[in-house]
Structures are given as C-alpha cells and as structure tokens.
Amino acid sequence: MAASDPSNREVTVRVFGGPTALIRYGGLHFLTDPTFDPPGGYPSGLTKTAPAAITPAELDRVDVVLLSHDEHDDNLDTAGRALLADVPLILTTPGGAVRLGGTARPLKDWESVELCCPEAGTITVTGVPALHGPGAREDLEPVVGEVVGFVLTADGLPTVYVSGDNAQLGPVREIADRFGPVDTAVLFAGAVRTPLLDGQLLTLDSAQAAEAARVLGARRVVPVHFDSWAHFTEGRERLVDAFTAAGLIDRVELA
C-alpha cells in the first residue's frame, strides 16, 4: 500500500522496525529513534521481540538523528546509543540533550533549527509538542519523561511530520493549525501500554492514528512503532482495519 501523490517522491522513508526509520529529505538523511539491538529483555522490563531490518553498519549514512526521547529502551536501545557517537547532529528534548552530550542539541516546542543541505538550500526542523500518555504535561513528564516531535520544512519540498511517542490528538491539532496540510506523516502508533501509567495508552492506538492523519490532511502516512516490542498492543492488522474504516487506507505506506 502506498500513496500515489507524486509530491511524495521527493521524500523517501525506509522503516526498519519499531520506531526506527530513515527519511531522505532535501539530500539529508534523518534517522528516527534508533533501535538496533537483537531481540531480548531489558532491566526496564521491556522486551524486544524482533531484530531491526538493517544493522547500523548497513546504513548509507546518517546526517541527523531525530530522537523523540532518550529515556525508554524502545526508542533508544544499546546499539542505538552507540550509533549516536558517529552522528553529526542529534535533535532531542532539552533533558535528553543534557544527558547525551556530544552533538545532541535541544529542541523545545516550536523552536527551530536551520540546516544547510545539498538539494534544498535550507531545511528547517521544528520541535513540536508530544505527550507520552493521557492528561496534562506537568503530570506526565515526571513519570514518563519529556518527548518531542518534529516537523521538517524547506522551500519546494513537502512538509514532513514525525510524531514521536505522542498519545494525544490535542498536539496533533496544534501542529495541523501551524503546518497543515502535512504531506508525509510518520506516526508512532502501537497502542503502547505499560505499568508506568497503569496500562493507559502511552502512544496513539490505530483509530487515533487514523484520526491524526485526517486532522493533518496527510497525503501519505508512514506508521512506525507498532512492531518488534512486546508492549506494543496493536500491530499491522489493526492499523489496516482502522485506516480502512476511516477511508484513508490509500494514504498508508506499510513495509
């Protein structure tokens, strides 16, 4: 399944499993939440169930890592952390930038950084809100930590939204108001549930992901973060069902 809008050909997205995807945009390569460990358990209690489709050594190159947050193994595992040492720029939360050091740079909500690139002159990366569960930010962040999403824009190129681990539609509506319609939406789904918030949703479920795509007016939707980990409770089949029910399945690109 793939969207047919020709403008999407200017942006390629390769999904490797879990939240990890490589976005080629304006000649730069952006890697989302790197997770490359083999299957196994973590001291945090999370369990990885499938390997990534590629190893870090097989990546062509990575110019920028878009790291929604660094505190959970399913967004940054051991091999992903090792990869960061060789990346020229890591964009992440303010707290994550302090913890990681090196080339990590913080992006607050609505803060932007401009990058020079070979094909588009300047790419603007804007940090956008993400809430890793239900309720207010001030109640969530002490429990689940900070999370940031990203919007990529450049003259002559489609707009790309990377949601990060967001569980609420309110931030999506704010982003749509500022940047919509979005051409390509990389949506973290999976209906994540863990004991952290007594089993409440920590990411979008499949129906919410379909609604997010509608709100954004997305011409193409690339779901990620719905496989390869035991705590992801809704996978490919539920995504297909939800987007089909919403009449949006023709916009979905699944590997």
Q: What is the pTM of this model?
A: 0.94
In the chain, which stretches have pLDDT less than 50?
Answer: 1-9
Specify the pLDDT at position 255. Answer: 73
Specify the pLDDT at position 5. Answer: 42
Query: Cα(75)–Cα(38) distance, rounded to whole angstroms?
Result: 14
Domain parsing of the chain, residue ranges: 6-251
CATH superfamily for domain 6-251:
Ribonuclease Z/Hydroxyacylglutathione hydrolase-like (3.60.15.10)
Specify the pLDDT at position 132. Answer: 93
Phi-psi map region of 242: left, alpha, beta (phi>0 left; psi -120 to 50 alpha): alpha
- Residue type at 156 in one-letter notation: G
Specify the pLDDT at position 62. Answer: 97
CB atoms within 10 A of CB 81: 15
Contacts of residue 77, Cβ cutoff 8 Å, sequence gap at least 6: 34, 35, 36, 37, 42, 48
